[in-house]
Amino acid sequence: MSLKEYQEHPEEGFIEMDFVEVPAREMLDRANGYYELMDKRRTTRHFSKKEVSRDLIELAIRTAGTAPSGAHLQPWTFVAVSDVKLKERIRIAAEEEERRFYEERVPEEWAEVLLPLGTDQVKEHLTDAPWVVILFRHSQRVRENGDLAPTYYSQESCGIAAGMFISAVHNMGLTTLTHTPSPMGFLRELLNRPDHEHPMVVMPVGYPAEGAKVPDITRKSLGDISVFYPY
Ligand code: IYR
């Protein structure tokens, strides 16, 4: 519908919401079940080479694509790579950036909080994981007349979509890692994306390697991450 049509018949753009009420007695069980599922999610950097079908990756991306977004512009492209050669090229370029980061650029106060996570410039996950999914954020959109116009809240929108991708991957019984090589502009060239798309996060997806390790860290308590009124 055009802007003018919307202004004249604003109700025409709306349909009935499809909302199925969950019985109150089931709500707590469902809430608990989801919390317990998500609380088992851990980030490992050690992936198995075991294959994962494309169907599963498509479903994780579809789930991420249900995220709310600023003005419903859906300002994201998920580039899913299983091509071995392309994953190798991504790894080589990412490791080059990371080497500079760890050897030259990392400030002490950043190094201090990375230490417990055991990260370094070696990025095996980029070639071990059967899939590497790169989320590109659109800072602009193409209007019907071909002009570029801004998107709104694209950082927030893509952050939400990434979160939904992560929970979808965990729910299907696989694991993913949010990797942010910095700077990561090389991904736009390597993956042929246009100038208004910005690589935001690299997410290898697969099975954890046998005996995969995770850092021995804890999560903040509810009291530490929330405030309720009234107490
Ligand atoms: N990009 C680097 C450094 C890094 C930064 C943060 I913030 C992390 O949570 C983890 C790593 C890397 O990927 O190693």
Instruction: Write the residue with the smallest CA distance to atom 9 of ligand 1.
Output: 114
Read off the pLDDT band of 10 (50, 70, 90): confident
Residues near ligand 1 with C-beta < 6 Å?
98, 101, 114, 117, 119, 179-182
3-class DSSP string for 102-164: HHHHCCHHHHHHHHHHCCCCCCCHHHHCCEEEEEEEECEEECCCCCEEECCCHHHHHHHHHHH
Q: How far is the CA of 143 from the centre of ligand 1 (A)?
A: 36
pLDDT, one tens digit per residue, over 11-70 is 888 999 999 999 999 999 999 999 999 999 999 999 999 999 999 999 999 999 999 999
- Asked if 104 and 121 touch (Cβ cutoff 8 Å), the reply is no
Q: What is the per-residue pLDDT for 7?
A: 84
Architecture category of domain 45-209 in CATH:
3-Layer(aba) Sandwich (3.40)
Instruction: Write the residue with the smallest CA distance to atom 1 of ligand 1.
Output: 181
Q: How far is the CA of 163 from the centre of ligand 1 (A)?
A: 17
The arrangement of strands across the sheet holding 131-138 comes to: 76-81, 131-138, 197-206, 175-176
Domain map (residue ranges) of the chain: 45-209
Q: Which two tokens stand for residue 57?
A: 């990756």
At 206, phi and psi to the nearest 5?
A: 175, -160
Pairing of strands 175-176, 197-206: antiparallel
pLDDT, one tens digit per residue, over 114-162 is 999 989 999 999 999 999 999 999 999 999 999 999 999 999 999 999 9
- Gap between the Cα atoms of 93 and 98, Å rounded: 9
pLDDT, one tens digit per residue, over 171-219 is 999 999 999 998 899 999 999 999 999 999 999 999 999 999 999 999 9
Which numbered atom of ligand 1 lies nearest the CA of 117?
Answer: 10
- Gap between the Cα atoms of 40 and 29, Å rounded: 17
**Could you tell me which residues are beta bridge partners of residue 100?**
none
Residue with the two structure tokens 């690299």: 202
Q: Is the pLDDT of residue 79 over 80?
A: yes
Give the residue among 15, 129, 127, 133 at the shortest CA–CA distance from 63. Answer: 133
How big is the CA angle at 215 (ends 210 and 219), to the nearest 5 degrees?
125
- Gap between the Cα atoms of 27 and 97, Å rounded: 47
